[in-house]
Amino acid sequence: MRTEKPIQRIALAYSGGLDTSVMIPWLRDNYGCEVLAVVADIGQEEDFEAVREKALRTGAVACEVVDLKAEFASGYLFPALRAGAIYEGRYLLGTALARPLIAKAQVETALAHGCDALAHGCTGKGNDQVRFEVTYRTLAPQLRVVAPWREWDLRSREDEFAYAEARGISLPVTPENPYSIDQNLWHTSTEGGVLEDPAMAPPDDIYRMTTDPADAPDEPRVVEISFERGFPTALDGARLEPWHLIETLNEIAGSHGVGRVDLVESRLVGMKSRGVYETPAGTVLRAALRDLESLTLDHATAAYKEGLSTRYGELVYQGHWFTALRESLDTFLDASHQTVTGTVSVKLFKGTCMPVARVSPFSLYQEDLATFGEDAVYDQKDAAGFIRLWGLSAEVRARVLAGPAGPAAAHAPSASPTASESMAPESTAPGREAVLSG
């Protein structure tokens, strides 16, 4: 028995695929409400007019297509790139970054059209339900949430077709795609089908954004990426809007086979899953930015950021985009990346991408300091005192552990105590004064 008041109008995050198409009549039947289809254009290849027609034909009262490409690139992808966000060391988070934005646009559209509820097409086994619903609850806790996959008893494509047909809705029977694919401006993610066996290599024909590295051009291509404060601004000297830069670089890097990853990941809901990702532009931009950071960040800041990248990746993966932690980390990065400005040349060749040259007005690399030749700034004699102090604690500890026998005894192979005793007679151990006299 539902005790809440009945839903009048629900906004469904609609893709035009089979599942969300069947959800339109299902929501009408089961909740007796109007369904507003909200379609996010997030850079996927799609005929949005056809998607709109399909939504209306299957029973939606209206369909809104929202163009999110620019906001996705500048407000989500580039901040995550600057943060070095990555999950479990390899996943560049293309799906995870899209979800909070799609959910936000859905909430805004829902409120603008007087909806009192939200629905999405995610299954009850994945990460995406969490990412959508955490965003809903953060931005519009007053709206009710319906997740048909967790409620209905349709278990197969056949069930779904039969359900629609019984309601006089004909859905074109498309050839069954054996994979679950999620595509946007940043990546294509492919899961399911034969990929469910992690012991099997992915079939060659699953890739959509990248050429097989073996078939990529025999000539390398060098691209120049310019950054300002950690954000990409130009490609080969031409200033481009973020989404346009990504789109253009996807073409170039994809044609050289760059950006493929095949991995097993730990889902938020506890299980391991296997996925194949193609993130061509993201892979190149990440390599270029890291290279520029080596030139412009001091060691301590860069090393600190390394840990932050992992944490940032985790929070994105786990649906915590709209949180104090993400905002706070971005504030840190605003400060740390003030000087991460410059240009990096990256060589693309048969699936690899390698930074080969870099320049920055804030370069910390000073040729006169690093040179092996003569220089006036650095006095080599200074190094001796530095080394004594730098190694002091290690030296003291070794002395203490060694006891009266001297430091060599403590580090000698334990199997030959007699040898070590003879190697470090008490009389020849360096005197304590040598360390402590200064």
The CB density around residue 398, as the number of other CB atoms within 10 Å, is 16
Residue with tokens 């905002």: 327
- When asked if residue 20 is in the footprint of ligand ARG (CB under 6 A), the reply is no
Q: Whose CA is closest to 208, among 126, 276, 266?
A: 276
Using CB under 6 A, which of 15, 106, 135, 189 touches ligand ARG? 189
Contact 105, 299 (CB under 8 A): no
The pairing of beta strand 231-235 with beta strand 221-228 = antiparallel
CB of 147 to ligand ARG, least distance (A): 16
- Residues tagged active-site: 19, 99, 128, 180
**Among the listed residues 34, 64, 160, 182, the single contact to ligand ARG using CB under 6 A:** 182
Residues 280, 349: Cα–Cα separation, whole Å: 12
Shortest distance, position 367 Cβ to ligand ARG, whole Å: 44
Using the contact rule CB under 6 A, the part of the chain among 33-41, 186-194, 230-238, 360-368 near ligand ARG is 186-194
CB 110 within 8 A of CB 11: yes
> In this complex, which beta carbon is closest to ligand ARG, that of residue 275 or of residue 282?
275
CA angle 219, 222, 224 (to 5 degrees): 165
Q: How far is the CB of 275 from ligand ARG (least distance, A)?
A: 5
Instruction: Give whichever of 246 and 288 is closer to ligand ARG, judged by the CB atom.
Output: 246
Whole-angstrom distance, CA of residue 258 vs CA of residue 219: 14
**E strands present in 153-230:** 180-183, 188-191, 221-228
Residue 180 contacts ligand ARG per CB under 6 A: yes
Strands 9-13, 117-119: pairing is parallel
| 79-118 footprint of ligand ARG as x/- string (CB under 6 A) | ----------------xx----------------------
Nearest to 14 by CA among 52, 50, 43, 47: 52
d(CA 215, CA 227) in angstroms, rounded, equals: 31
Considering only 20-28, 189-197, 237-245, 306-314, which stretch makes contact with ligand ARG by CB under 6 A?
189-197
Instruction: Single out the segment in contact with ligand ARG by CB under 6 A; choices: 10-18, 184-192, 219-227, 238-246.
Output: 184-192
* Cα separations in angstroms, 49 against 46, 82, 330, 350, 384: 9, 35, 37, 37, 73
Binding to ligand ARG (CB under 6 A): which residues in 121-160?
127
**Given the rule CB under 6 A, which of 152-160, 175-183, 241-249, 298-306 is the region that contacts ligand ARG?**
175-183
CA distance 219 to 222: 10
Site for ligand ARG, residues 268 to 287, rule: CB under 6 A: 273, 275
Question: Toward ligand ARG, which CB reaches closer, 181 or 359?
Answer: 181
What letter represents residue 38's amino acid? V
Nearest CB to ligand ARG, comparing residues 95 and 106: 95
# of chain residues touching ligand ARG (CB under 6 A): 11
309 forms part of the interface with ligand ARG (CB under 6 A): no
> For ligand ARG, which is the closer residue by CB, 163 or 277?
277
Contact residues toward ligand ARG (CB under 6 A) are 95-96, 127, 180-182, 189-191, 273, 275
